[in-house]
Amino acid sequence: MSMRDAQAEPNACPGEFGGVRQTIRTSSLLGPFIRRQRTAMVAPYVRGDVLDIGCHDAATLGWPNLAIGRYVGTDIDEQALARARAKYPDREFICNDIDREPLGFDREFDCVVLVALIEHILNQRHLLEQCRTALRPGGFLVLTTPTPFGNDIVHRVGGRLGLFSRSVEDHHVVIYDRRRLQAAAEMVGFSLHRHRYFQLGCNQLAILRREE
């Protein structure tokens, strides 16, 4: 089951730090608007050979004006991957549990995409190390994740009003501020190349650069 805008599902996977990572997909009043805004923030940085982790049904490939070469999408949800393969038969899709399995790529990509994913993953160091290993030196990890303000305050209130999915927030296992995100990146050999807030400070875009 995908972690990107995932659907409620009883199956779950254990992670490095204990507990359970359960995957979800829910609808909400502002959900489509939020996804469009995330796309607008991320798309300009997605280029070259691309690894899309948590790709679900490969919505990334439908973004306008993409300049990409090789594309590989990974997800834990086989049904979503089946839809992606049917829609994009010339692209590569791999079933993978990024919480506990290696990706098996070594310096093969210019860009790794993590859209609304990192906050759902228990094994943060493993995730970031796998992203770094997959990137060529100088390549970029492009990610979005809620801010503490967006997750702890706005999302909770909006969930009660039906504007956001409460179940999505319930399955966020780690929330980063800018300083903590930069520290986590530097621990595994990334530098924080660019950082921007959007959606009135509720969400954030981070571009991490793989150093040599």
pTM attached to this predicted model: 0.82
Q: How many domains does the chain have?
A: 1
18: pLDDT strictly greater than 80: no
Name the 3-class secondary structure at 199: coil
Question: What is the mean pLDDT of the segment spanning 16-44?
Answer: 60
Q: Is residue 1 part of a domain?
A: no
Q: 1 or 2, which is more confident?
A: 2
108's CB contacts (< 8 A; 6+ apart) are 49, 51, 70, 134, 136
Q: Is residue 3 part of a domain?
A: no
Question: What is the mean pLDDT of the segment spanning 186-194?
Answer: 97
| 68-97 residue pLDDT tens | 999 999 999 999 999 999 999 999 999 999
99: pLDDT strictly greater than 80: yes
pLDDT score of 84? 97
- Domain span at residue 168 reads 12-210
Question: What is the mean pLDDT of the segment spanning 17-46?
Answer: 63
User: Alpha helix (H) ranges present in the chain?
Assistant: 31-42, 78-87, 124-134, 148-149, 155-161, 166-170, 178-187
| 32-71 residue pLDDT tens | 667 787 888 999 999 999 999 999 999 999 988 889 999 9
Question: What is the mean pLDDT of the segment spanning 19-38?
Answer: 55
CATH number at residue 36: 3.40.50.150
Q: Is residue 5 part of a domain?
A: no
**Sign (positive or negative) of CA dihedral 35, 41, 43, 49:** negative
Q: Is residue 48 part of a domain?
A: yes
* Inter-axis angle of helices 124-134 and 178-187, nearest 10: 60
Q: How far apart are CA 36 and CA 32, in angstroms?
A: 6
Task: Report the mean per-residue pLDDT for the chain.
Answer: 83
